[in-house]
Chain A
């Protein structure tokens, strides 16, 4: 089983991934996460905006997935902290995300993920995560 299949297999077993309704598309080491719009993802119904927590969960999961894809650990990394910048309102539409492993050290990794909707260069939110990479 290659790394992409391992990752897909893991995500299929994570309940919060199912609750969110997100999935990932992988081509080699290139990965895009997709969060199809659902009414339950709304945070403010008067302006039909996605909840910041739903966006944050999606971005954190994307960061973890990208790190798993390019590293060789048995288990997914654990999050130490996340910083999320909310740049634009998340509209009632599908949300996409990509992540870059900024640094992969022996114990720590720094990953940046970015979410967008209709236009790739108009990000909705950016997350920077530090994760603990377990090597046994």
Chain B
């Protein structure tokens, strides 16, 4: 297991405060957060490439905070691949084994292993500048894996790729995850990427760890407005919990409407309803089927390609994500009266510290 304890880093204006993160053996942890949130700094701190102002990095219980990067057995793959431009792909892949003076036979065995895992045998004698984005990223991953690290760090490995390269590299990442069971920390600003790949997700923002949990937890049960917004929850309401008893259902009042919720959270002042959990109809909805049924005027229609976002003013405004087929069936127009409904289980309450 890798444990980061009270990690503090200060670089220029950037300030990371008391970050605590645990990554279990064989786990694929995705660290997600907006650009400039400090994700790369955390990776470089784990690798020993960034000076710490405080805290510890523990690798399998051993404090490695004072160890130089070459003694940690932690590999890093950067967003822009960082292949050595003066070496061929094969020389790049074997770099780590050569500097460690590993026997030639072992070098050949490892080369064959990573090359077949990433399907890059045709690239071995190519020079990095002649490769496509996806090919470069796969070569950089092969180089990182060739030294058999205890921990693999991936810094936005898909961000600089075109959609085809992205799909290809993502598939390879899933392959690596399944076959090697290697402890991995992958950072990204893309929440969908985090959901698709992560065993667990750690949300970083404003120089601190905001929430760590399974994709399901982060997606459905954010514990702050920051995480809810980052998880594209869209419908975040400010209000008060009217009846709240631990373990029982409760009600949440916001802007003149009251939502029924399953969870009872004391002093909850925020409610989140994911837009894909809400149904919309031009005909009245049956009240018995869902605990929360409202009506209002359609105040916005936003085309997202495969899906559309409809906004209905209850008031307050609530966004509903529907498929294009549903849209054709519904045929909504601005100003039209619409009925919306969602179950109490779709309402997630939490307390946002507003101090």
Indicate whether A and B interact. no
Chain A residues within 8 Å of B, Cβ to Cβ: none
Chain B residues within 8 Å of A, Cβ to Cβ: none
